[in-house]
Amino acid sequence: MSEKDMPHSGHYFGDQRDLWWNYDFLELMAKRWDLSSVHSVLDVGCGIGHWGFTLAPFLNDKSQISGIDPEPRWIEKATERAREKNLERQFHYQIGKAEQIPYEDNTFDMVTCQTVLIHVRDPSIALKEMIRVLKPGGLLAVAEPNNLAPLLVFNNLNVNDPVDEVLMAIQFYMMCERGKQALGLGYNSIGDILPFTFSQQGLRKIQIYLSDKTSPLIPPYLSREAQILLDQIKAWEGQEILTWPKEETKQYFLAGGGIEAEFEEIWQALLKDFKKNMQAFKDKTLSTTGTTLMYLISGRKK
């Protein structure tokens, strides 16, 4: 599929997304959030359904899960996946966006999203809508990251990289994140500031947790998870993608204050680094903890 035909987030919907959570951690969150009493859920920006399918086993047996997404292809695919899992009676999908949710006020026991607020222009507008469709006392729970933090997690090969190279990468990605935000396309480290937005929206009982999931790759990569991760990484090989495709990255870099003449050099340096890691995977010499920073932030509607 060409870059321009790719629906939103199409690069990120591989099998690896099924491995984002530790089941026992979600059991703990289900207790903390009292998910067994949840009968109706809205999954905002559902994509092809990963988050809803992940949460379903922890909800009340008779729960109904609705998903909305602005991309028609994701709605089709999510519906198809629910059918394949024989879950079409429990899952219902329709086109819709976070800023204009196609449901009445006070409809759901729980409204949730995973890695969606990082893509919206104004999360406070989206959250206001999400709260509108939540029943009084209902649970708003979001899984959103700080995507810059992993830049300070090292692997066995880059742990001694020169400080200025590390800082160059951090500066580059910070500028890209800020540029993406300036273009109205969302802020990739939004998790850090969502608790403040929750409090401004009048939510109570605000809680913040961090996922305890890592995605380690330790030679000789025998686990099923390592194989899936490697397949995903190999699928990106040959494509000029580092977090985002090259042209998209350039657009963000420039909007974040970057200088056009500097982009190519930094991009090539980062790409070279990525290729070095890819080769090390193939040679089975790279070891990484695969640590990310994913928040689970929740609050209750008054």
Q: Which residues bind ligand SAM (CB under 6 A)?
A: 8-9, 12, 17, 44-47, 50-51, 69-71, 74, 97-99, 113-116, 119-120
- φ, ψ at 14 (rounded to 5°): -75, 175
DSSP-derived letter for residue 6 is P
Q: List the end-to-end C-alpha distance of the chain, in Å, as a whole number.
A: 46
Least separation in angstroms between residue 20's CB and ligand SAM is 8
> Which residue, 28 or 95, is less far from ligand SAM as judged by CB?
95
Least separation in angstroms between residue 273's CB and ligand SAM is 24
> Which residue, 75 or 286, is less far from ligand SAM as judged by CB?
75
> Which residue, 108 or 281, is less far from ligand SAM as judged by CB?
108
Least separation in angstroms between residue 249's CB and ligand SAM is 16
Sequence-separated (6 or more) residues with CB below 8 Å from residue 17:
50
Least separation in angstroms between residue 96's CB and ligand SAM is 7
> Which residue, 42 or 226, is less far from ligand SAM as judged by CB?
42
Least separation in angstroms between residue 113's CB and ligand SAM is 6
Select from 185, 75, 190, 202 the least CA-distant residue to 132.
202
Least separation in angstroms between residue 70's CB and ligand SAM is 5
Reduced 3-state DSSP string for 222-258: CCHHHHHHHHHHHHHCCCCEECEEHHHHHHHHHHCCC
The single-letter code of the amino acid at 32 is: R
> Which residue, 119 or 178, is less far from ligand SAM as judged by CB?
119
> Which residue, 126 or 286, is less far from ligand SAM as judged by CB?
126
Select from 178, 179, 157, 135 the least CA-distant residue to 40.
135
The beta strands (E) that lie in 86-216 are given as 91-95, 108-114, 134-145, 204-210
> Which residue, 115 or 288, is less far from ligand SAM as judged by CB?
115
The beta strands (E) that lie in 71-220 are given as 91-95, 108-114, 134-145, 204-210
Q: Are strands 108-114 and 40-44 parallel, antiparallel or unpaired?
A: parallel
**d(C-alpha 179, C-alpha 8), whole Å:** 18
Least separation in angstroms between residue 220's CB and ligand SAM is 30
